[in-house]
Amino acid sequence: MKIVIQKFGGTSLQNREIRDKAAEHIVDAIEDGFSPVVVVSAMGRKGDPYATDTLLQSATTIFKNISSREKDLIMSCGELISAVVMVQTLKQKNIDAVALNGMQAGIITDDNYNQATIKKIVPDNILNVLNNNRIPVITGFQGISENGEITTFGRGGSDTTASILAAALKAEYIEIYSDVEGILSADPRQIPGARNIPETSYIEAVEMANKGANVIHPQAVSIADQYKIPIKLFSTSNNVKSTIIFEMKNDKPVTGITSKTNIILARIFPNKSNIHKTGLSIFQTLAQQNISVDFIDITPELISFIIEEDLEDKFIKIIRNNNYVFEIEKEFSKISVVGSGMTGMPGIMAKIVKALSSKDIMIYECTDSYTTISCLVKSIEEIKAITALHKEFKLGSK
């Protein structure tokens, strides 16, 4: 049995016309000799009736606080609706299908509500459905704990569901369908000349996802990398252009430019006579509260780093409660140049500085890894910075 995992995002399910196109991809896989296992997200986006954010909002309109357990219960409803509707869509095409929630699919998690981790897959029920020539349509984003509680995986969790099922079922590959044509060299809403990247490595895909390219969740790529399962990214309505993620070496130094906005630059001013007690302990304090930091710079005079803006209130409360001397500056963007080919290649940073300085864009902080160089700039200059870097590394459409 040749299994392929086909995951459909919310925008691939939001109306009958596009669901029919999604179903055609499933039909194509069957005609090509594959046994599809379908994973679905909740339909549409915030504001649409059954989108996850809409369902959650319906429960918090009157009373804002909701327990983590009940939050998972209502957030799990959107995918179940999608699964049932997709089954009916397939049956209209004379394809026998059955909807399975996370429990029925054998997805076992820990007890961490809203951010659960998958502990194991018991695929017996899925295999039984396949062996009876039926198509399993599985709810993404959710599972069941060993204590019998419904849990969800956090944003992008349906991608993770697809990858972990692919590993458990020894799938040939994973197909992920959304409203974009695979991974692009930059956000097409910011750079009209952004081009499709037909092939990229696991490490590049993870870096681009982590740095702001919201086409696929980085954890899903990491799982696929571990088991060496190729991922194919398609647009549901147009699969002429796509991206395949697999084990490959990219000789081109830069693959794409990504960005994250709504960034805060924080500065902590320690007591110079005891910097470890009055300054460096901030990292342990923030880690205990699940606040991630980046762009860390430590000097005797100050400690600086960045956090995401939606953590501002929580961050300020923590540092005030611990009597840190601090200041914050808002409206920054993190611009990242990504490419596995830059490893060991001199001159990449020089080109970045040249491109940004030629447009009078100030770099406030900079950090790098062997596949990524990221710069902190003011948000008002985000698009100008991306445009300059996209042009400097010749990433535009040919």
Name residue, tokens 């915030």. Answer: 46
What does the pLDDT read at residue 273?
64
Residue 272 pLDDT exceeds 70? no
Per-residue confidence at 210, pLDDT binned at 50, 70, 90?
A: confident
pTM for the whole structure? 0.87
Q: Is the pLDDT of residue 296 over 60?
A: yes
Residue 287 CA to chain centroid, in angstroms? 21
Distance CA 160, CA 117 (A): 10
- Segment 326-345 shows an average pLDDT of 91
Average model confidence (pLDDT) across the chain: 92
Residue 397: pLDDT band (50, 70, 90) is low
Confidence of residue 251 (pLDDT cuts 50, 70, 90): confident
Whole-number pLDDT of residue 239:
72
d(CA 13, CA 67): 29
Q: Cβ atoms within 10 A of the Cβ of 389, count?
A: 27
Q: What angle do CA 81, 84, 89 make, to 5 degrees?
A: 120
Q: Which SS3 state, helix, strand or coil, does residue 281 take?
A: helix
385: enclosing H helix or E strand:
helix 382-392
User: Pick the residue with more confidence: 355 or 275?
Assistant: 355
Position 298 scores a pLDDT of 87
Residue 282, in any domain of the structure: no
Task: Provide DSSP, 79-106.
Answer: HHHHHHHHHHHHHTTT--EEEE-TTTTT
Q: Is residue 31 part of a domain?
A: yes
Lowest-pLDDT choice from 17-21, 29-33, 277-281: 277-281
pLDDT digits (tens, 9 = 90+) for 60-104: 887 778 899 999 999 999 999 999 999 999 999 999 999 999 999
Pairing of strands 150-152, 142-145: antiparallel
pLDDT tens, position by position, 135-165 = 999 999 999 999 999 999 988 899 999 999 9
Is residue 98 included in any domain, yes or no? yes
Query: Residue 303: CB partners within 8 Å, gap ≥ 6?
Result: 267, 268, 270, 279, 280, 282, 296, 297
By residue range, what is the domain housing residue 28?
3-179
- Report the percent of the chain where pLDDT is more than 70: 97
Q: Is residue 313 part of a domain?
A: no
pLDDT tens digits, one per residue of 257-267: 999 999 999 99
Residue 95 lies in a domain: yes
Distance CA 151, CA 119 (A): 12
Distance CA 309, CA 312 (A): 5
pLDDT digits (tens, 9 = 90+) for 119-135: 999 999 999 999 999 99
Please report, for residues 187, 349, 382, 384, the alpha-carbon distance to residue 389 in angstroms, rounded to integers and kept in the order given: 13, 11, 11, 9
Greatest distance between any 2 Cα atoms in the chain: 76
Q: Which of 87-96, 208-217, 273-282 has the highest mean pLDDT?
A: 87-96
Residue 91 tokens, joined = 């049956």
Provide the pLDDT for residue 357: 96
- pLDDT at res. 240: 75
Among 219, 163, 151, 205, CA closest to 37:
163
Which CATH number characterizes residue 110's domain? 3.40.1160.10
138 near 161, Cβ under 8 Å? yes
Residue 323: burial class (beta carbons within 10 Å; 0-12, 13-18, 19+): exposed
Task: Report the distance separating Cα 137 and Cα 310, nearest Å.
Answer: 35
Residue 6 pLDDT grade (very low, low, confident, very high; cuts 50, 70, 90): very high
Q: What average pLDDT does this structure show over 190-202?
A: 91
Question: In this model, does residue 275 exceed pLDDT 70?
Answer: no
Residue 121 located in a structural domain: yes
Mean of the pLDDT values across residues 349-354? 96
Per-residue pLDDT of 215-238, as tens digits, reads 899 999 999 999 999 999 999 987
Decide if 380 is inside a domain.
no
Asked whether residue 9 is assigned to any structural domain, the reply reads: yes
Residue 341 DSSP label? G
* Token duo for residue 4: 């392929």
Among candidates 179, 145, 175, which has minimal Cα distance to 14? 179
277, pLDDT greater than 70: no
Q: Give me the DSSP letters along 51-85.
A: SHHHHHHHHHSS-----HHHHHHHHTHHHHHHHHH
- The domain tally of the chain equals 1
